[in-house]
Homo-oligomer: A and B are copies of this chain.
Amino acid sequence: MTDQLQKKTKVWSGRFSEPISEKVQEYTASIGFDKKLALFDIQGSKAHAEMLEKVGILSNEELNKILDGLNRIAQEIKENKFNWKIELEDVHLNIEARLTELIGEPGEKIHTARSRNDQVATDMRLWLRSEIDIIAGLIQSLEKSILSQAEQHSNSLMAGLTHLQTAQPITFGHHMMAYHDMFARDYDRLLELRKRVNCLPLGSAALAGTGFKIDREFVAKKLGFEKVIDNSLDAVSDRDFVLEFLNFSAILMIHISRLSEEIIMWASDNFGYIDIPDEFCTGSSIMPQKKNPDVAELARGKTGRAIGNLINILVLMKGQPLAYNKDNQEDKEPIFDSVKTIKDTLDIFSAMLRSIKVNKANLKKPFDRSYTTATDLADYLVAKQTTFREAHEIVSKIVTFAEKKNILLQDIPLKTFEEFSEKIEEDVFEILDCEGSIKSRSHVGGTSPDQVLNAIKTAKLKWQACLKH
């Protein structure tokens, strides 16, 4: 048995007659991934130690040694000099063992009145809170990129699609703002779930609390937690906060997947709506002419990852009896992966979106072969006292006629129009024009350029307000 293993034995296996097998050690150890939590573990331990001193369990001298030791360990970790040992299972025991190595006896007191069950829950919440704040910032950056495109193209006519069929004229800016609003909802959800992340489990010990006279409010305050978790069993076994975050991630990635789908389509030869700068594309090892929108494709693919991670933890939690079970160790890798995925994706989309060049001429191509103002024509008839259903029918016939003749609506002579409805007059040609069509949609939420500019203005104010806080 190695020295380290003996040290570990001291930690929990005093009554074990056989040492753990190497295979089991590898299967059960979490140090390979939970070392990512190390600095948060130290942060938590420092607050815990200060509380222990405050309530008289540690002397002031002991506390100072502990804080000192923990600071040194933090330094070692930052400098990549810390020697992680798989025999010590996890980040908690690794740090505790090193602490005792560094400062002796006081190190053996740090685990008083706590358990790894409440400790790891605390680490996870501190880590996630910190990542949430980074992600919030990244969403803001992405929103700014979107707003910059929307602003440039608040007036750029585009064929709006439903069912991927040409539907009605819109502007590219209006289209962009739909994505702005999706990510704005993601942002709101993130801030809401942050409250439920930002709660203190420490003090729950293994599952029942502890007999020491601890001061949980003090620890919560030290660590910036808004709330002490009310029930000790719940505190050590709850992973709702992980699920909530993973759901946020899944919805965010759904939004990214929709945007990616459009970027890929827009960049294809048949659309030709946009040009993505070379730096965001890659080439082919065999076809010299290729330029592929890899970033958008990968991001679309990574949606699977975000959803898979969510399901992973839902399955993990299903049917688990109280309180802590080892199953929960499996909560880490999926959330680490989802956090990395959305951080990387938001960051790169923010840069890519800003740099995309829009080909305004191509945005309008579908107008040349479709009847996007047919609804406007129907509405024109309604304004002239036709019922909407009758108007719809008349216009259907006009469209059929135009299709057969292979002409556009604006190319139909007034005389022909009159045969379909005598209510149609010279002024019809104004509303058959796409520019006129978008301008007319000037209510809240409509596609008219002034409404789009309004929406952009409101959005900018929102993000400025966020920054101030």
In the bound complex, do residue B289 and residue A371 qualify as a contact, i.e. CB atoms below 8 Å apart? yes
Minimum Cβ distance to chain B for residue A450 (Å): 12
Instruction: Find out whether the CB atom of A326 lies under 8 angstroms from the CB atom of B163.
Output: yes
Tell me whether A161 and B268 are in contact (CB under 8 A): yes
User: Which residue of B231, B297, B389 contacts A11 across the interface (Cβ within 8 Å)?
Assistant: B389
| Cα–Cα, bound, A178→B326 (Å) | 19
Q: Does A325 contact B (CB under 8 A)?
A: yes
> Does residue A117 face the partner (Cβ distance < 8 Å to B)?
yes
Shortest C-beta distance, A93 to chain B (Å), equals 7
Chain B proximity of A380: nearest CB distance (Å)? 8
Q: Cβ of A468 < 8 Å from any Cβ of B?
A: no
Q: Is B160 in contact with A115, judged by CB distance below 8 angstroms?
A: no
Q: Complex: how many Å from CA A7 to CA B93?
A: 46
User: Is B181 in contact with A234, judged by CB distance below 8 angstroms?
Assistant: yes
Say which residue of B287, B298, B317, B392 sits within 8 Å of A330 (CB atoms).
B298
**Residue pair B167, A290 in contact (C-beta under 8 Å):** yes
Q: Do residues A294 and B28 form an inter-chain contact, with CB atoms below 8 A?
A: yes
Q: Are B374 and A287 in contact (CB under 8 A)?
A: yes
Main secondary structure of the interface of A (DSSP, over half): helix
- B308 and A312 contact, CB distance less than 8 A: yes
Complex: how many Å from CA A243 to CA B325? Answer: 27
Interfacial chain B residues near A319, Cβ < 8 Å = 257-258, 260-261, 300, 303, 318-319
Q: Could you tell me the distance between the alpha carbons of A447 and B308 in the complex, rounded to whole angstroms?
A: 36
A215 CA / B294 CA spacing, docked (Å) = 32
Nearest CB in chain B: distance from A437 CB, A:
7
Q: Which of B271, B286, B448 contacts A114 (CB 8 A)?
A: B286
Q: Mark A213-228, 1 if CB is under 8 A from B, else 0.
A: 1111100000000001
Does A262 have its Cβ within 8 Å of any Cβ on chain B? yes
Assembly CA distance A320 to B92 (angstroms): 33
With contacts A206-B284, A228-B444 taken as known, whether A312 is within 8 angstroms of B305 at the C-beta atoms is yes
**How many Å lie between the Cα of A11 and that of B159 in the bound state?**
24
Select from chain B the residue with minimum beta-carbon distance to A11.
B285
**Contact among B295, B328, B443 with A213 in the assembled complex (CB-CB below 8 Å):** B443
Q: Which of chain B's residues has its CB closest to A397's CB?
A: B14
Known: A14-B288, A232-B446. A207 touches B283 (CB 8 A): no
CB nearest neighbor in B for A301 = B327
Residues of B close to A1: CB separation below 8 A: none
The answer, among B13, B203, B325, B438, for a CB contact under 8 Å with A164, is B325
Docked CA distance A282–B2 (Å): 18
Task: Write the nearest CB–CB distance from A25 to chain B, whole angstroms.
Answer: 9
The answer to whether B251 and A240 touch across the interface, beta carbons within 8 angstroms, is yes
Given contacts A18-B279, A211-B440, contact A455 B230 (CB under 8 A): yes
Partner of A115, one of B92, B284, B293: B284
Stretch of A33-41, A68-76, A103-111 with 4 or more beta carbons under 8 angstroms from chain B: A103-111
- Chain B: minimal CB distance from A438 (Å): 7
> Does A378 interact with chain B (Cβ within 8 Å)?
yes
Report yes or no: A395 in contact with B301, Cβ–Cβ below 8 A.
no
A235–B175 Cα distance when bound, in Å, is 12
* A389–B111 touching, CB < 8 Å: yes
Which of B92, B267, B280, B308 is A308 in contact with, Cβ under 8 Å? B308
Is A144 interfacial (CB-CB < 8 Å)?
no
Q: Are A234 and B265 interface neighbours, CB within 8 A? A: no
A sample of 17 more A-B contacts (CB under 8 A), given A243-B250, A257-B319, A298-B329, is: A13-B282, A21-B351, A161-B322, A163-B297, A165-B269, A169-B208, A181-B231, A185-B240, A209-B441, A212-B382, A244-B247, A258-B322, A288-B392, A288-B395, A303-B319, A308-B311, A309-B312
A selection of 27 A-B contacts at a CB cut-off of 8 Å is A11-B285, A11-B392, A12-B282, A12-B283, A14-B400, A15-B291, A23-B348, A28-B294, A162-B287, A163-B264, A167-B284, A168-B208, A181-B229, A182-B234, A185-B196, A230-B455, A235-B445, A244-B247, A265-B265, A265-B321, A270-B366, A287-B374, A288-B374, A288-B377, A294-B326, A301-B325, A304-B313
**Closest 5 CB pairs between A and B?**
A14-B396, A209-B446, A308-B312, A301-B327, A108-B387
